[in-house]
Structure 1
Amino acid sequence: MNSTTVNTVLGPVPTDELGVVSVHEALLSVLPGAEHAFDITLDRAEVFETLAGRLRDFRAHGGGTLVDSTGMFHGRDVRLYEALSRATGVHIVASTGQGPEELLGGYFLTPQTNPPTPWPAEKFADLFGREITEGMVVPRVERRAPAGLVTTAVTRTGMTATDESLLRGAARAALTTGTALSFRYGDDAAAELGVVLDEELPADRVAVGGLDREDAVADGAPAKVAERGAHVLLDHVGTEDDEHVTDAERAALVAGLVRAGHADRILLSVGATGVAKGHPANDLPYSHVLTAFVPLLKAHGVGDGDVRRILGANPAALLAVR
């Protein structure tokens, strides 16, 4: 496979056919265990219609490709995503990976060793890597298309030993398969990025998420990440709460990064949840970046060329298999 294709659920797609890419969204997001709860329903036809409507809205406003960045065990349904992509015309990139530690199943925390120890990085690397080289697992049934992204997350209060194994394993899987790594930072974006780069994964193959949190912006983390050559992922566009900056502040942040020469390192996403089970949904439309945020960027002096780069060329370069 050459460097101009991206792994989607329907197979490789040339990067120049991706269009506008939303790089950090959720389609069906199920809190592990919720699928077994008495008060949770999972009607596949209903889920399909809801997600299809959201994807058609995204496409109607100019969207081309959506990345489901939920990883392995949070409701990922590859066959559902294949059907959605065929029905809506939106390219869907699914991801492999797990994390942070608090959301891992017990099997991945305490394998059968004496005494029980966290999984080492090489086991996570093998688990994630096989989902790319052999296809994503449909539990107890088969493997389907290859994952197009490795994703993980660090515990918000700080990186644990298991988080570090996840980060290193994810970086190794990305490096050996030619895919990219996206991770949501915990409490020190620069240090956590350093762990990934220590595995010799090139910085331009890494996206650091969560960088539109108030504490990240206050710490100057977006500029620090960009200066090291990694992608700055502002993944909660549209969310305005006590934890995140406002869209106006996000637009000013993007404009500042562009002026500093980092236009090729900026990624945007809503972090929306199409269908959530067992946890609250982010109900913003996937199209929010296009309908509401792009006008703000232009009002802050970001030109059309840089907007196109941020929405299309940057995510395409990140997701390209190489």
Structure 2
Amino acid sequence: MRRLAAAGLLVAVSIAAHACPPSEWPRAQLEALKASQWQLADAERRTRLAFDLLPCLASPDPQLRDQLAFEALQTWLRTGALTSATSRELGVRLQDMLSAPDPDGVARPFAMLALAEVVRDDRLRGVWTSAERDATLTRVAEQLRAVTDYRGFEPGIGWRHSVAHASDALMQFALNPALTREQLDRILAAVASQVMPAGHAYVHGESERLARPVLFVARRGLHSTEEWRQWFTQLTKAAVPPGEPASLASLARVHDVKGFLMPLYIAAQEGGPPELRERVLPGLVSALRALP
């Protein structure tokens, strides 16, 4: 892991030194490649381009960042067009971007969104060792806890969506059967830390995205009905402290926790197996009824 960290420092310099779009791939060529559904027969060129597109995840241009760079990486990772070794190295570089300077506020959330695709690839192909997987989970959970930039969509620059993108990465972890109960508990703790950010009401779908990893943790069946009841009760108590008068801050908390609990309720009630409903619904229903 120390070697990976040292490599990451070198990667930061490498990423910062590269232009977006890459000199070898002008924008028109990237758009043509997109039109071909990212078909690039030369595996060596494809791998090199995957790395060369990383600086574009920091671009304030939403087409370069989202529709070209991220879409290319997602497509290649989801279709197995990149080797496990390449996927693993992308994970190293993307994690380094999480702590790199981000003047436009887009590099970290899009590095996280791309990292979610590597987490998915690891779930399917075993890209990381168990120690590397655990370290990455810790990094993602810490990144979600540390989010203070709650900007979502902005005309001209597109999405930032830090909370949603970190939630996507945690969802991919929660889907991995290799994760232990203790690791799932870390996911739940990280999610709970952002269900009701101080003084902010979510309006860009963040609550639903936060709910997804919790749903898949619940599907693992490693927590009892009573444990879920306690977890949901803690949220409602934080949302509505006894004796606190109504305020804009309290209204925001209630808005956010309802936006988080309702998608979980619908998913468990309408689409979940009976055992999921038995475990989760009693606590969910009690929590919803406790809210004004």
* Structure-1-length-normalised TM-score: 0.32
| Greater C-alpha Rg | 2
Q: Which has the higher strand share?
A: 1
Highest RCO, 1 vs 2 (Cα 8 Å, sep ≥ 6): 1
Q: Which has the higher helix share?
A: 2
